[in-house]
Structures are given as C-alpha cells and as structure tokens.
C-alpha cells in the first residue's frame, strides 16, 4: 500500500463512520480514494446535477452545502474537517437537491460508493451514522418558510439513544399498493403507476406476491427497447419479491434493502410470500422516517429560530410517540426519548428568549417540575417550572429579579405557542412566587420541610420532583442538599407527605368496582391520574426522599431503586413499578386516541380482559398504602 493511501487511512480512522471499521478495511478503501484539490468557490456538485459515483469527506478547508430560496443562497450546512457530504447516491435515485461549494481552499476525498457500499450493508453503526447524516442534510431543504434566513449550525452528530431508537422506530408506508396479475400489460401497469404516483406495483398470483416491478425496471427494460411496452408485466418483473412483516423497524428495513440491493420491500401479513400483501415500503419511506429520528429532531430544535418551527417539531414528536405506542415499544424507552426531545424544546425556548432580551445579569438555572421533572411526559400537559438565580447584592436584587421574570414570561409565552399550555395553578417560573434567588429558594424548601402544615397552601409535592433544563448544575446540587439535610428523620415532614399520599380517593369500592366520576363532563369515567397514578407517584417520592435517593425523579426508576435500597419490601416496590408502567400506558393510549390528557378512562370501551388487567394493576396500591402507614406510623389523616 502506498504512502498516500496510508495517510488517508490514518486520517479517516479518527472520524465516524470510518472509526467503526478495521484498519485493514480502511486501508482497502483508502487505496481507491481520489484526492481533490478545490480552489475557493469551486462547485463540486449543484442542484439537479446527475448523481456522482462517490461521496465526499473534507480532509481540510470548508465546504458549504446550500440551496437557493427566494433568489437568495441559504446555507444548509458547513462541512469542516472530517465531515461527510454528498450521500444522496446511497439513499436516493433523483438528482442532487443542493449545491456543494468550497468556501476556502480545500482538500476533499472522493470515496467510490461501489467500494464502500458493502461496509454500510454489513455494519449497523456505519449505516445508522450515514442515514442520520443524510436525513439531517436533506430534511425540508425545499421548505421556504423554514429555510429562509435560517443559518444552520456546524455539523453535529448524535449518539446513544438515536441509533437505538432505529431498532424500535416503525415505518409509515403505502398500505394501498398497486396489485396486478402476471398477465397485465406493461403499458397498463405503467399508466396505473403514473396516475397514482406510485413507484412500484406488486404482481400477485392467487392473491400471493410473486414479483415486483418498479420505475427502475421501466427505465432499464422498456425505455431501452429490451422489452416491448405491449408485453406482459411478468417479462420485466423482479422475482421473487422481498417480503417483510408489518412491524418491521426502520433499521431492519434499511439493512434488508442495502444487503439485497433493492429499493422496495413488500409487506405481507406474516412476512412471507405465502400470505396476502399489506403494503409496500420504498426508499423514500425510509428517508421520511429517518427525518423523524429523535437525534434528527433534536438537531433541528437547535437550529430553530421561531416558536412556530419548534411547534412543528413537537407535532412530529407526537406522531413518533403515537406510532411507537401502537407497536408496543417499551414505555420506559419511549419516555426517555420523549424527555430528551421535550427538554431540547424547553432549552431552545429559553435560548431564543435570551437572544431576544440580552444576556442574563448573573448565573441561573431553569427547572422543570412535576411530570416533566419526573421525565414522565408523553402526552401534551401544561407547563410547570421554577427559576433559581444566583445571589446578588441587595441593591441589584430588584433589577436582577425583573430581568429573570421577563425572561421567564417570554419563555413561557414561546412554550405556549409550541403547545405547552400555561399551568392553571400558576406553578411557572414566570410567576413572582416561583422566580427567586438561590438563598430564597433554600429558605422556601427549609420552611416547607420544617413547617409543612403552616405552608400547605403553597406546598405542592410537585416542587420535590425537579430536573434542571438549563443553567448551573450547582443550583440543583444546592436544592438537593437542602431537601435531604432538612428531611433527614424529619417526622413532621414525612407525616405531612405520607398523609397527603394517603388522602387520594381509593380507586376501587368495597365491592371491587371502579370508583367513577359521579357528575360533570366525565361522568361515569375513571380518573386514572388522580385515583391510580398519583398515589404511586406520591408513594415513590415519599420513600425516595426518606431513603436519601438522589438524582432519580422518575417514578418507575424510584421504585426500582427502592427495591435495591430496601430489599425487605422489594416485592411491593417492584409490583408498584410494573403497575405504574401499565397505568401510564393505558393513560397514554386513551390520550392519543381522543387527543386529550388521557386522565379519564371510558370503562365501557375497555374489554373484559383489559378491565381485569386494570384491577390487577391497582392491587399493589393497597400494599403500598399499608407500607406508608407502617413505616411512618400514620394512623389518621393530618
């Protein structure tokens, strides 16, 4: 191997996705790479240009990817050293949709696609990385409103949850495919495809798929004159057709297409060619699904310049959650993903507010409280937040607090536009009570803990479920220290929290029937939030604080941690954890189905089995209630 190829391999091994390959594999690839020296303003490819047989990596310099919007060049991405671009030939067949131009003297490596394709097909990490890069650089590239004056930050890549999600993330696809017989005329099939704007047709015999024809077959076999347009479609079809199950994940579909060199997959009832056709998945469907990947959504959030842009991303998150829930993706996984996206939206709202009103006069932290603070928010619920700012000299206090109230009001207004309703109880950082200095917050929590009965009007247990969204970590550490120091062996505090947890109305009557609403718009419905979820949330919080469990706010995770911390009662905690998951999923499904918060369950719509499952999920609450009474020696309500 020559010295130049060695140097190229050494360069590439530092960057994704090449770092996922062995040095031997890299060396083989490097020996086929062309080195391009680009002068300033040299165009490598442009909009509508025919696709190249290679993709590119910046070795040095800067290459801009851009489109023309309203007669104005808009930068999509700036590609610095190590950045990939020009991936379209891998994942799409139509011409380039953007222009790549050197903004300074640059060296670019051109990597032949034919050489690199096998490494993509056989290495999931390489595939995930390249698809995400492609989706990020292409999504909404022709959307004038979202692109106009929207300078996009330098290339950023996401790891962790993003790749994992692709194994769960399901696909939306054409569930009304064109189905024809092997004896149909090519001309008739072509007309059907053109009229319905489909890129494929499935050929079936006795209602079972035997082949597929795509627009590629028409261009390569009919347009070239190899087969007459009057021939029957079985003369140009590809057989057998590759069949898959309905619930195939994004990553699985990507790998199958690449490994088999196909552009379409036939969806059948049992995943084989011996069952009826349910739909067709195309390459385009993969690109659309990839654009809703959590990592891509988070990157788009960071680029967003307006509340309306953030709102569109939040709606796409809702679609992601809906399809994931319907496909039985684990709820714990979904809440993690939703929380990351929610927190990114909240953080960007704060950043946009700061850009509007100017830098903060001192350091601060914004906290989500309640369901957001517990990272349990899947459905659209209202805002709950507090703001803590660093202590300042007395003469600066009023001015400093005014700034942060202004910041909070702008932020909550943006979040309301995005789709987070204002908290009806006023538990928001934009309220004068919940925007304070660190010293004031320490006094507030100390008072709540030592004299809870006297301050019960102000004390809401959601203030003990918080997660930092933006700002200084030391603020969260200070609040934790205050709570656990003052809460240690504080009988009065645990008496108050314990009785508060027990005060919730029981979910079942003496005769094991559901307690339902007796009047109002939700008459005869079951309040799953107040009667089932809240007692579990309150119990988990109470025991977590009393056992000194820091940094875990999520109810499910609190119960799991309690089972480790207090093995004597592990069975109760673990049953409560599973009950919480089941009840949360039931509430989410109700909310998604009716576009509500899911708080009230229509029992008439539940099957007999589901009703029994619901009753079984409520059973551990009785054991939790007894454990609270025994542990904290509670005999009556405060």
- DSSP characters for 492-519? HHHHHHHHHHHTSPPSB-TTS-B----S
pLDDT, tens digit (0-9, with 9 covering 90-100), for 265-308: 999 988 888 889 999 999 888 877 766 667 778 888 988 999 99
Query: Nearest CA to 398 among 423, 435, 363?
Result: 435
User: Would you say residue 368 has pLDDT above 90?
Assistant: yes
104: DSSP letter: S
Percent of the chain with pLDDT over 90: 37
497's tokens:
């929290």
- State which fold the 304-472 domain adopts: Beta Polymerase; domain 2 (3.30.460)
Three-state secondary structure string covering 355-404: HHHCCCCCCEEEEEECCCCCCCCCCCCCCCEEEEECCCCHHHHHHHHHHH
103: DSSP letter: S
Q: Name the residue with higher pLDDT: 514 or 369.
A: 369
User: Would you say residue 475 has pLDDT above 50?
Assistant: yes
In this prediction, residue 418 has a pLDDT band, given cuts at 50, 70 and 90, of very high
Report the number of secondary-structure helices (H) and strands (E) in the chain: 23, 20
The pLDDT value given to residue 277: 93
Least confident span in 250-259, 386-395, 505-514, 568-577: 505-514
Q: Name the residue with higher pLDDT: 556 or 89.
A: 556
Percent of the chain with pLDDT over 70: 87
Kindly report the number of other CB atoms within 10 A of residue 72's CB atom.
Answer: 11
- Give the Cα separation of 546 and 97 in Å (integer): 59
- Answer yes or no: pTM beyond 0.85: no
Residues β-bridged to residue 209: 204
Kindly report the number of other CB atoms within 10 A of residue 312's CB atom.
Answer: 17
- Give the Cα separation of 162 and 595 in Å (integer): 27
Q: Name the residue with higher pLDDT: 10 or 379.
A: 10
Q: Which long-range contacts (CB under 8 A, 24 or more apart) does 617-621 make?
A: 617/532, 617/578, 617/579, 617/582, 617/583, 618/507, 618/508, 618/532, 618/579, 619/575, 619/579, 620/572, 620/575, 620/576, 620/578, 620/579, 621/507, 621/532, 621/535, 621/536, 621/576, 621/579
Highest mean pLDDT among 9-18, 325-334, 374-383, 392-401: 392-401
506's tokens:
């029981």
Q: Name the residue with higher pLDDT: 215 or 381.
A: 215
229's tokens:
């347009």
Q: Name the residue with higher pLDDT: 267 or 454.
A: 267
The pLDDT value given to residue 45: 94
Residue 553 φ then ψ, to 5°? -105, -25
pLDDT, tens digit (0-9, with 9 covering 90-100), for 236-275: 999 899 998 877 777 778 777 877 778 899 999 888 888 8
The pLDDT value given to residue 180: 94
What is residue 52's three-state secondary structure?
coil
614's tokens:
């619901």
CB 218 within 8 A of CB 190: yes
- Strands 526-527, 600-601: parallel, antiparallel or unpaired by DSSP? antiparallel
In this prediction, residue 159 has a pLDDT band, given cuts at 50, 70 and 90, of very low
The pLDDT value given to residue 586: 87
- Give the Cα separation of 53 and 32 in Å (integer): 12
Collect all residues with Cβ–Cβ distance below 8 Å to 326 and sequence separation of at least 6: 170
In this prediction, residue 219 has a pLDDT band, given cuts at 50, 70 and 90, of confident
Say whether domain 179-287 belongs to CATH 3.10.580.10.
yes
Least confident span in 97-101, 185-189, 487-491: 487-491
- Show the beta-strand stretches assigned E in 32-131: 34-38, 43-45, 54-60, 63-69, 72-79, 84-85, 99-102, 106-112
User: Would you say residue 225 has pLDDT above 50?
Assistant: yes
In this prediction, residue 576 has a pLDDT band, given cuts at 50, 70 and 90, of very high
Collect all residues with Cβ–Cβ distance below 8 Å to 104 and sequence separation of at least 6: 40, 61, 62
Taking CA atoms, 295 is separated from 132, 164, 176, 208, 299, in Å, by: 8, 10, 30, 38, 6
User: Would you say residue 214 has pLDDT above 80?
Assistant: yes
User: Would you say residue 186 has pLDDT above 80?
Assistant: yes
- Give the Cα separation of 160 and 358 in Å (integer): 34
CB 65 within 8 A of CB 126: no
CATH among 2.60.40.150, 1.10.10.60, 2.60.120.10, 2.40.30.10 for 3-153? 2.60.120.10
User: Would you say residue 146 has pLDDT above 60?
Assistant: no
The pLDDT value given to residue 638: 42
The pLDDT value given to residue 511: 55
122's tokens:
């056989």
The pLDDT value given to residue 579: 92
Give exposure, 423-460, as e/b (b: 16+ Cβ within 10 Å): beeebbbbbeebbbbbeebbebbeebbeebeeeeeebb
- Give the Cα separation of 310 and 327 in Å (integer): 26
Highest mean pLDDT among 264-273, 396-405, 550-559: 396-405
- Domain spans of the chain? 3-153, 179-287, 304-472, 492-632
In this prediction, residue 346 has a pLDDT band, given cuts at 50, 70 and 90, of very high
The pLDDT value given to residue 552: 86
Query: Nearest CA to 553 among 399, 371, 344?
Result: 371
Q: How many CA atoms lie within 13 A of 607 on its CB side?
A: 3
Least confident span in 422-426, 567-571, 573-577, 591-595: 591-595
CB 134 within 8 A of CB 87: yes
User: Would you say residue 205 has pLDDT above 90?
Assistant: yes
- Strands 385-389, 435-437: parallel, antiparallel or unpaired by DSSP? parallel
In this prediction, residue 166 has a pLDDT band, given cuts at 50, 70 and 90, of low
Which element (helix H / strand E) includes 489? none
pLDDT, tens digit (0-9, with 9 covering 90-100), for 613-623: 888 888 898 89
Least confident span in 12-21, 132-141, 232-241, 482-491: 132-141
- Give the Cα separation of 209 and 266 in Å (integer): 8
- Give the Cα separation of 530 and 450 in Å (integer): 27
Collect all residues with Cβ–Cβ distance below 8 Å to 526 and sequence separation of at least 6: 507, 514, 515, 516, 517, 600, 601, 603, 614
- Give the Cα separation of 18 and 440 in Å (integer): 52
* 364-375 average pLDDT score: 91
1: DSSP letter: -
Average pLDDT, the chain: 83
Check the CA dihedral 452-458-535-483 and report its sign.
negative
């Amino acid at each position: 191997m020559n010295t130049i190829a060695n140097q190229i391999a050494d360069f590439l091994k530092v960057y994704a996705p090449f770092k996922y390959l062995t040095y031997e594999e890299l060396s083989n690839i490097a020996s086929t790479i062309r080195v391009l020296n680009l002068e300033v303003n040299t165009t490598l490819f442009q909009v509508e240009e025919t696709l190249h047989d290679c993709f590119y990596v910046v070795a040095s310099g800067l290459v801009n990817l851009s489109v023309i919007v309203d007669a104005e060049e808009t930068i999509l991405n700036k590609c610095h050293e190590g950045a990939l671009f020009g991936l379209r030939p891998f994942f799409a067949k139509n011409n380039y949709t953007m222009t790549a131009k050197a903004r300074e003297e640059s060296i670019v490596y051109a990597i032949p696609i034919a050489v690199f394709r096998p490494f993509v097909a056989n290495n999931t990490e390489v595939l995930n990385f390249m698809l995400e890069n492609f989706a990020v650089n292409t999504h909404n590239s022709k959307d004038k409103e979202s692109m106009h004056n929207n300078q996009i930050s330098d290339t950023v890549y996401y790891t962790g949850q993003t790749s994992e999600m692709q194994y769960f993330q399901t696909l939306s696809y054409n569930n009304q495919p064109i189905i024809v017989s092997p004896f149909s005329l090519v001309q008739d099939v072509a007309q059907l495809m053109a009229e319905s704007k489909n890129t494929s047709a499935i050929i079936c015999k006795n209602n079972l798929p035997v082949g597929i024809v795509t627009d590629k077959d028409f261009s390569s076999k009919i347009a070239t004159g190899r087969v007459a347009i009057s021939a029957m479609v079985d003369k140009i079809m590809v057989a057998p057709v590759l069949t898959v199950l309905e619930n195939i994940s994004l990553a699985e579909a990507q790998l199958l297409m690449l490994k088999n060199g196909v552009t379409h997959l036939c969806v059948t009832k049992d995943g084989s060619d011996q069952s009826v056709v349910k739909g067709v998945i195309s390459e385009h469907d993969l690109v659309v699904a990839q654009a809703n990947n959590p990592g891509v959504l988070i990157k788009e959030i960071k680029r967003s310049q307006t509340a309306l842009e953030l709102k569109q991303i939040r709606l796409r998150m809702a679609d992601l959650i809906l399809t994931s829930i319907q496909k039985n993706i684990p709820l714990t996984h979904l809440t993690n993903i939703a929380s990351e996206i929610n927190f990114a939206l909240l953080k960007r709202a704060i950043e946009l507010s700061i850009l509007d009103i100017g830098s903060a006069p001192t350091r601060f932290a914004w906290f989500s409280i309640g369901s957001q603070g517990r990272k349990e928010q899947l459905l659209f619920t209202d805002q709950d937040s507090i703001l803590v700012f660093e202590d300042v000299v007395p003469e600066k206090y009023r001015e400093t607090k005014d700034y942060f109230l202004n910041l909070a009001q702008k932020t909550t207004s943006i979040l309301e536009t995005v789709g987070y309703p204002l908290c009806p109880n006023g538990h928001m950082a934009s309220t004068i009570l919940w925007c304070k200095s660190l010293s004031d917050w320490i006094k507030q929590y100390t008072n709540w803990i030592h004299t809870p009965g006297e301050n019960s009007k102000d004390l809401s247990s959601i203030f003990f479920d918080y997660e930092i969204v933006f700002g200084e970590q030391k603020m969260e550490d200070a609040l934790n220290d205050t709570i656990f120091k003052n809460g240690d062996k504080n009988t009065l505090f645990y008496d108050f929290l314990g009785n508060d947890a027990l005060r919730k109305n029981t979910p079942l009557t003496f005769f094991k029937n559901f307690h339902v609403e007796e009047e109002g718009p939700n008459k005869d419905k079951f309040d799953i939030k107040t009667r089932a979820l809240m007692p579990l949330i309150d119990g988990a919080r109470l025991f977590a604080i009393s056992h000194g469990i820091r940094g875990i706010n999520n109810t499910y995770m609190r119960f799991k941690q309690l089972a480790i911390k207090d093995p004597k009662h592990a069975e109760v905690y673990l049953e409560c954890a599973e009950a919480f998951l089941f009840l949360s999923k039931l509430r989410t499904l109700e909310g998604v189905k009716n576009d509500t918060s899911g708080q009230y369950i229509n029992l008439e719509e539940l099957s007999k089995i589901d009703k029994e499952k619901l009753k079984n999920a409520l059973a551990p609450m009785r054991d939790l209630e007894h454990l609270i009474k025994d542990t904290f020696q509670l005999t009556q309500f405060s």
